[in-house]
Amino acid sequence: MTEEESTVPGFMLDGEELPFEPGETILQAATRAGRYIPHLCWHPEFEAHGSCRICIVKVNGRTCASCTQQAAADLEVQSNTEEINAERKMLLQMLFVEGNHFCPSCEKSGNCLLQATAYQIGMEGPHFEEFYPDRPVDASHPDILLDFNRCILCALCVRASRDVDGKDVFALGGHGIKSHLLVNSASGRLADTDMALGDRAASICPVGVILPKRRGFAIPIGHRRFDARPVSEQVECETP
C-alpha cells in the first residue's frame, strides 16, 4: 500500500491505513490486504456468524467483532494490542476448557485453526478449569467421523451444508453451555443423512469434528499446514 493512491480514504488498522470497498467488513478488508486478524468462525466464502468473538477489535475505543463491523472511512481500529490479545487468549482458553481437546492424539493437530490460533496468541495453558463434557462421537457414516468433543459451535458446517451443498445436514441445538451441533435425520445420526465426503461441509471444519475416515496421520505431525508457518503468515490462503 506504499505508493497506492486511493480516492476513497481508508481506515486505520493498528496505525496503518487500509483501503476498503463499500460493504466490506473490517476483517474482509484486512484479509484482502494480507493483514492477519485472528478468527475462528469466520471464513471468506461464507456470511459472517459473529459468535466466536476471537476477531474482536477496538473501533474508536469500542470493542466489536471485526467480522461483522462494516469498514468505514477514518475508523481507528486496534487489533494487535496487548489488551485485545489478552482477551482473545481468554476466549481461546474458554473454548479449550468447554470441549475435550486432546491435541496430541487429534488427527487435526497441525491443521487445526483453534490450535494454530492458540499458538499464535501465546496460550500456554487452559487457565480455567475444564468442563469435561460427555459428548459421544458419531461414527455411523461409512466415510465421515463426527467427534463432537472438539466442536466450538462456529456453525461453518451449518452454513456450508446449507449454502453450498444445499443439504442442510447440520443445525445448532440446545442453549447456554449445553449448546451443541445437531445432525438432520430421524435417528439424529450422520449415516442417515445424504452427506458425502466430497461435500463442502465435509472439509470446512476449522477444528477436528468432521474428519474423513481411514485417513489417519497420512501427513506426519510436524509437516502439517500450521507446523510450517504460523497462521498469521498464511492470510493469503484465505483471499478469495
Task: Pick one of 63, 81, 203, 239: the residue that binds another protein (CB under 8 A).
Answer: 63
Q: How far is the CB of 53 from another protein (least distance, A)?
A: 5
Under DSSP, the state recorded for 159 is H
Per CB under 8 A, 34 contacts another protein? no
**Cβ of 143: how many Cβ atoms within 10 Å?**
15
176 in the Ramachandran plot: left (φ > 0), alpha (ψ -120 to 50) or beta?
A: left
Can residue 186 be called a binding residue for another protein (CB under 8 A)? yes
Strands across the sheet with 11-13, in order? Answer: 16-18, 11-13, 76-78, 56-59, 62-65
Which of residues 29, 37, 48, 75 is near another protein by CB under 8 A?
Answer: 48
Q: Is 17 in the site for another protein (CB under 8 A)?
A: no
**Single residue of 35, 43, 53, 108 touching another protein by CB under 8 A:** 53
Helix (H, G, I), strand (E, B) or coil at 18: strand
Residue 231 and residue 112 in contact, taking contact as beta carbons nearer than 8 Å = no
Cell of 152: 466450538
Minimum separation from the CB atom of position 163 to another protein (A): 14
Question: Read out DSSP for 90-101?
Answer: HHHHHHHHHS--
Between 126 and 230, CB nearer to another protein: 126
Q: Which of 4, 6, 26 is nearest to 70 (CA)?
A: 26
Contact pattern from residue 133 through residue 172 relative to another protein, giving x for each residue in contact according to CB under 8 A and a dash for the rest: -------------------xx--------------xxxxx
- Does position 179 bind another protein by CB under 8 A? yes
Instruction: Name the residues that contact another protein, by CB under 8 A.
Output: 48, 50-54, 56, 63, 65, 68, 70, 87, 90-91, 94-95, 97-98, 128-129, 131, 152-153, 168-179, 182-186
